[in-house]
Amino acid sequence: MVRIAQPWSLRYPLVDGQGNFGSIDGDSAAAMRYTEARLTKIAEEMLADIEQDTVDRRPNFDGSLQEPVMVPTKFPNHLCNGTMGIAVGMATNMPPHNLVEVLDACLLLLEKEGKPVEITQEDGSVITTKYEVTIDDIMEIIKGPDFPTGGYIYDSNNIREVYRKGK
């Protein structure tokens, strides 16, 4: 919970923490008994329609409750806050992006939805998409990552390749 309350860790914090939640300098957070927390407005929006049965549900860990298979959210958390993690044999590190830019790019995708198009990738595999939007079209809107600390990208020419290849 500490990480999702820190404004230097997430572009859009999900928890409004009261008390010592650490510092950007590496100071540790206080013990749980010395802190309080509540959801931020954006996190409340993520859960606003949870009871509307818009997604499938499955039993929880002990079968006592039904939980949603995914969160039916209005906020694109994965794209806006980024993510970082390691699993068996693979890892991911996706940077955060500006909410307004992400939503504008989503609107572009909806506007340009068309007939299915087959795209041959560099490795020869073929993927099918029904969007007529290119990486360059999206990069007209999303110029690059939007770090919570206001960091700079020194080699911005390679951002297109990073978005195109995913690494």
User: Could you list the active site residues?
Assistant: 34
Contacts 24+ apart (CB under 8 A), 143-150: 143/101, 145/82, 145/95, 145/96, 145/97, 146/11, 146/95, 146/96, 146/97, 146/98, 146/101, 147/11, 147/95, 147/96, 148/7, 148/8, 148/9, 148/10, 148/11, 148/96, 149/8, 149/24
